[in-house]
Amino acid sequence: MFHAPNAFERAPIPPATRESEPRRQAPVATADSPAQVTDRPAQTTPAKKRDAYFDNAKYLAIVLVAVAHSWVPVMDGSRAARALYMVTYTFHMPAFIIISGYFSRSFDMSPAKVKRLVTGVAVPYIVFETAYALFYRYADNAPDSMISLTEPWYLTWFLAALFIWRLTTPIWRSLRHPLAVSLVIACLASLAPSIGNDLDLPRTLQFLPFFVLGLQLKPEHFQLVRRREVRMLAVPLFAVAVLFAYWAAHRMQLGWFLRDSSAQDMGNPWWTGVVMTLALFGCATLLTAAFLSLVPRRHMWFTVLGAGTICGYLLHGFMVKGAEYAGVFDHNEWLISPTGLVLVTVVASVGVTLMCTPPVRRVLRCVTEPDMNWAFRRDAAKL
């Protein structure tokens, strides 16, 4: 693996060593004395073990992301669909961002970490931001659309935000009360219409507290949410959330859940930005904990797909937007019905699942996991 672990990629756990086996130290090559070559066969490094729990969580979360995106064209007129959309949008990206922050705790601006950040986040952002801009230009017949790397389109905002968040990790790790500071920043971003949209900064700052929260978590916190009593409370919590969302479906603006606008941009008083930022942070944290408590801990049939969620995330936008540009939803109004909504959900789930499979991951590895040793100094290439 040649890029930094993020919301899609789990940092592998070092393999355990058995005490009964003596440890052998490999010869070290230096500029003055190269490594000594022996006639003994080279020892192969054991495969690094992945955590099935986090792979399961990433796969289930990416399915929710794809399904929620596919609901947008068909949920008009359906109060139930809008309620499900609101509940899903409350926690699916916070879950990704919290996991991303959790695996960013070791980021320290060292050459190796910076290389991983560039190859695993910046390069995919540049490639897919360009690809989506071209896709929009030709698939939607918009020849005047421009390619701009400073204005993330559709779902590439997450990579731009992740790049910024990870760069600031050393700051958050050194503050005394980082979560409180990040919440203040998020509240200010929710009431600052003049902040601009470069790199989708409003959304980057409003989602920042979830990344900072992930930085503060420890393994025991994930053990805590997986306790039996927490799992028993998770289903009732989701039921209450769905009922409340059904009541609020036509009373709340969806912009609150997207977090890409200020309160004034949505025509609300400035102080509502602060209230909604804090309220949604609390709701998202509770629902994320409930979601993580329900994630299976053992190896499942979809566990292997957790390693390819970056492919599913970056590719499913072509599927959803492609159907929209082709007029699938406009020419088939029955998709708005409950049967149509179920069909759209199934198609989105199957589609994103196929995009997470190992063959797709291997094809896209040159973009999502590029080596790029040629572009970095030798000390940065030693991962």
Span 140-166, pLDDT tens digits: 888 888 888 888 988 999 999 999 999
How far is residue 259's CA from residue 126's CA, in Å, rounded to a whole number? 23
Residues 6+ apart with CB under 8 A from 63: 348, 349, 352, 353
Rg of the chain taking only CA atoms, in angstroms: 22
pLDDT of residue 231: 93
pLDDT bracket for residue 380 (50, 70, 90): low
- What's the predicted TM-score (pTM) here? 0.85
Give yes or no for a contact between 265 and 95, defined as CB atoms under 8 angstroms apart: no
pLDDT of residue 336: 87
Phi (first) and psi of residue 101, to 5 degrees: -65, -40
Q: Calculate ∠ Cα 203-205-210, nearest 5°.
A: 95
Residues 6+ apart with CB under 8 A from 128: 156, 159, 314, 367
Is the confidence at residue 82, as pLDDT, over 70?
yes
pLDDT of residue 23: 42
Q: Which two tokens stand for residue 310?
A: 């970056």
SS3 133: helix
**Distance of alpha carbon 119 from the chain centroid:** 16
Segment 264-281, tens digit of pLDDT: 999 999 999 999 999 999
Give one DSSP letter per residue of 354-367, joined into a string. HHTSHHHHHHHHHH
Q: Which two tokens stand for residue 330?
A: 């406009």
How far is residue 315's CA from residue 326's CA, in Å, rounded to a whole number? 17
The mean-pLDDT minimum among 150-159, 213-222, 283-292 falls in 150-159
Is the confidence at residue 37, as pLDDT, over 70?
no
How far is residue 285's CA from residue 189's CA, in Å, rounded to a whole number? 19
H or E element, residue 269: none
Give yes or no for a contact between 321 and 353, defined as CB atoms under 8 angstroms apart: no
**What are the residues facing 13 on neighbouring strands?**
49
pLDDT bracket for residue 35 (50, 70, 90): very low
